[in-house]
Amino acid sequence: MLEQSLLTNWQDKHAKLFDNHTILLTHKLNQTGLFTEDALAQLIDRCEPQHYNINTMGYDKNLLEWRAGEIGDLTGKQVIEAIRKGRMWMNLHRIMERDLEYKRVLDNIFDELEEKVPNLKTFKRNMTLLISSPNIQVYYHADIQGQSLWQLSGRKRVYVYPPTETFLSAKSLEKILLRETEEEVPYEPWFDDYAEIYDLEPGQMAHWPLYAPHRVENYDCLNISITTEHWTRDIWNAYAVNYGNGVLRRTLGFKNLSQNSSGFHIYPKAAAALLWKKLKLDQRNQFSHKVDFRVDLGAEKGMVDIAPYEKAA
Ligand SMILES: [Fe+2]
């Protein structure tokens, strides 16, 4: 039973569109009081280094020049101020594990969606907080699982591209799933001619189809958002097939592999995927983050360089 309906403009058509097309919905997450700057500052205060990443990036949307940092012993309030004046973004991972209130909201969201969308059964639900500076961007990328972006404060422009071979090749997708790369994939400026473009305001959320590449540009204001992630049986099947294809391509040199996520070929591919994972062969390819700046409220761009060190991803 839902404690509170969080979606405010749901129509019957959204049940058919969910997971298949991009949909823009309105929500009342801000009414929970859990996403004010004060509440989020307290959440940051309780955070350990492994619970977050904070990054900065360049200015060219075609160049992947980003760096990782640490917050040192700043308070959550100071971190938010530094992000407001700097050029950074901070992800707080799995916030539903930091505080049960967020878990309740996450469960509410998916319980409500499952009630509204026939046959939707989600698992491995996740919620990530994203606090980002004015005018920064999230590079062109795709995600491994179902993803929605919920805007809480500030404005951002979201570009969503078709989930087709043109915009995300099978090989690029396999690299993402095998974690040989972070989610970034090759981008060409002309892709924008084929994008759906949304200006996301507080109280709005966007949900797009699985593997639809997307990128985000903040307007000139601090942005606070959350992303929610979910898995379904179909998403798992697509993961197993594409992951399995990646393994077969790497081990047996297979080409022209089917991406169809139904039918008997799923099972050997899922087995190949699981075996690969079990053998931990993919561990070699896991990236790590080199931390080389510290957030500093007194510094001009809200950060100072420090001696680089490795932080496990
Ligand atoms: Fe994403």
pLDDT band at residue 254 under the 50/70/90 scheme: low
Evaluate if residue 162 carries a pLDDT over 70: yes
Q: How high is the pLDDT of residue 190?
A: 96
Domain ranges of the chain: 12-173+182-231+287-312, 233-279
Sheet holding 196-200: strands in order across? 137-141, 214-218, 156-160, 196-200
Amino acid of residue 82: A
Distances (CA, A) of 279 to 35, 274, 284: 41, 9, 11
DSSP letter string, 269-282: HHHHHHHHHHTTGG
Residue 184 per-residue DSSP state: B
Q: How high is the pLDDT of residue 69?
A: 94
How close is the Cα of 143 to the center of ligand 1, in Å?
5
CATH assignment of 12-173+182-231+287-312, given 2.10.50.10, 1.10.10.10, 3.50.50.60, 2.60.120.650?
2.60.120.650
Query: Sign of dihedral through CA atoms 152, 55, 88, 206?
Result: negative
Range of lowest pLDDT (98-107, 178-187, 283-292): 283-292
> Which segments of the chain are extended strands (E)?
23-26, 52-57, 66-70, 88-92, 123-132, 137-141, 146-153, 156-160, 196-200, 204-207, 214-218, 223-231, 288-295, 303-312
- The three-class DSSP label of residue 286 is coil
Q: How high is the pLDDT of residue 285?
A: 45
Sheet holding 66-70: strands in order across? 23-26, 204-207, 146-153, 223-231, 123-132, 88-92, 52-57, 66-70, 288-295, 303-312
Residues 240-267, mean pLDDT to the nearest whole number: 65
How close is the Cα of 213 to the center of ligand 1, in Å?
8
Residues 67-84, mean pLDDT to the nearest whole number: 94
What is the C-alpha to C-alpha distance for residues 52 and 42, in angstroms, rounded to an integer?
14
How close is the Cα of 197 to the center of ligand 1, in Å?
15
82 and 168 in contact (C-beta within 8 Å)?
no
How close is the Cα of 173 to the center of ligand 1, in Å?
13
Q: pLDDT averaged over the chain?
A: 86
How close is the Cα of 73 to the center of ligand 1, in Å?
29
Greater confidence (185 vs 245) lies with: 185
Task: Give me the phi and psi of 113, to 5 degrees please.
Answer: -65, -40
Q: How many CB atoms lie within 10 A of CB 11?
A: 10
pLDDT band at residue 137 under the 50/70/90 scheme: confident
How close is the Cα of 298 to the center of ligand 1, in Å?
31
